[in-house]
Amino acid sequence: MSERNLVLLGPPGAGKGTQAERLVDDFDLPYYATGNILREAVEQETELGRKAKEYMEAGELVPDDLISEVIAERLDSGEADDGFLLDGFPRTIGQAEMLEKALDGRGRSLTAALLIDAPDVEVVRRLSGRRTCVKNNHVYHTDFDPPKNEGVCDQDGSRLVQRDDDKPETVRKRLQVYHDQTEPLIQWYEDRGLLRRFDGTREPEEVNSHIRATLATLALEAEI
Ligand code: AP5
């Protein structure tokens, strides 16, 4: 397979970022997580960050045109020419159409949309214990995946913090937004034959090996 053009779909807290870390190691793909890109923009007080801040704090989606521009820039940067892993984009039908059009215009197409699913009750449990490192966004959980030393990232030694939007009331809002605006993408990608489903309630390593097996099968099918 010449290109691996992948998107990760799923509710907040299903483990998209957790799996992305592993897939980036497995396949050496450029990784674009729109949530991370936006949080960095907010922290650095860029124009994008100023526009996005209010929406993010409320657990709402930022406008499609704002985030679509960010992705188009990445696709044109040259570093994603042999493949990419998108996490958190697309999140609406409008964004999915934009991505399809952008890839089509560059003579490219998506390899697969990887859906990592988890029920709401599990999402709430996970997000209340999530900790993220301030340097590289490495992800931990206080109970399910604790760091060796409390409050310190195993991989780069930086401080672990709780995300602002992981407060219970914001998590509930994010879940509602997911069900209303992002879940329709499951059928959208199913209709195009691109959807692959994974049970996000399994252990992270198990989810990872299922994804790798699926990608290996897709690569074989592409060669036939
Ligand atoms: P974003 O950062 O994308 O948040 P999200 O989609 O809500 O996803 P999360 O990062 O919360 O969850 P995840 O699935 O990556 O879970 P994780 O691996 O960390 O977006 C934030 C905001 O930005 C949005 O609300 C919106 O405002 C804006 N935004 C972003 N993209 C946008 C777009 N395209 N359009 C418009 N607005 C946009 O895991 C969670 C926890 O569970 C961790 O503690 C982890 O250790 C643990 N865990 C993971 N897997 C397992 C497992 N298998 N078993 C047990 N525990 C596990």
Helix/strand/coil (H/E/C) assignment for every residue in the chain: CCCEEEEEECCCCCCHHHHHHHHHHHHCCCEEEHHHHHHHHHHCCCHHHHHHHHHHHCCCCCCHHHHHHHHHHHHCCCCCCCEEEEECCCCCHHHHHHHHHHHHHCCCCCCEEEEEECCHHHHHHHHHHEEEECCCCCEEECCCECCCCCCECCCCCCEEECCHHHCHHHHHHHHHHHHHHHCHHHHHHHHCCCEEEEECCCCHHHHHHHHHHHHHHHHHHHHC
pLDDT per residue as tens digits for the range 86-121: 999 999 999 999 999 999 999 999 999 999 999 999
CATH classification number, 4-30+80-118+177-223, choose in 3.40.50.150, 3.30.870.10, 3.40.50.300, 3.50.50.60: 3.40.50.300
Of all protein residues, the one whose alpha carbon is nearest to atom 54 of ligand 1 is: 203
Phi, psi of 141 (to 5 degrees): -135, 135
Measured from the CA of 89, which atom of ligand 1 is nearest? 34
Residue 12's pLDDT is what? 96
User: Could you tell me if residue 193 is left (phi over 0), alpha (psi between -120 and 50 degrees) or otherwise beta?
Assistant: left
The percent of residues above 90 in pLDDT, for the chain, comes to 92
The candidate with the shortest Cα–Cα distance to 56, out of 40, 69, 76, is 40
Question: What confidence tier does 223 reach under pLDDT thresholds 50, 70, 90?
Answer: confident
Enumerate the active-site residues.
Answer: 16, 91, 130, 163, 174
Cα distances from 108 to residues 12, 91, 201, in angstroms, run 28, 20, 32
Over residues 124-153, mean pLDDT:
94
Mutate to test the pocket of ligand 1, among 32, 61, 128, 131 (most ligand atoms within 8 A of CB): 61
Reply yes or no on whether the pLDDT at 83 is more than 80. Answer: yes
Reply yes or no on whether the pLDDT at 21 is more than 90. Answer: yes
Residue 1's pLDDT is what? 56
Residue 182's pLDDT is what? 98
Over residues 134-146, mean pLDDT:
93
- Rounded to two decimals, the pTM is 0.93
Residue 3's pLDDT is what? 87
Of 15-19, 46-50, 165-169, 198-202, the least confident: 165-169
Residue 119 in contact with residue 201, Cβ under 8 Å? yes
Reply yes or no on whether the pLDDT at 196 is more than 90. Answer: yes
| Tokens read off for 8 | 């990760």
The percent of residues above 70 in pLDDT, for the chain, comes to 99
Quote the Cα angle for 62-27-136, to 5°.
50
| Tokens read off for 107 | 């003579």
pLDDT, the chain, mean = 95
Reply yes or no on whether the pLDDT at 171 is more than 60. Answer: yes
Measured from the CA of 87, which atom of ligand 1 is nearest? 3
C-alpha to C-alpha distance for 198 and 202, rounded to whole angstroms: 9
Residue 167's pLDDT is what? 87
| Ligand 1 residue neighbourhood (C-beta within 6 Å) | 10, 12-18, 34-35, 38, 55-56, 59-62, 67, 88-89, 91, 95, 126, 129-130, 139-141, 144-145, 165, 174, 200, 202-204, 207
Residue 209 in contact with residue 203, Cβ under 8 Å? no
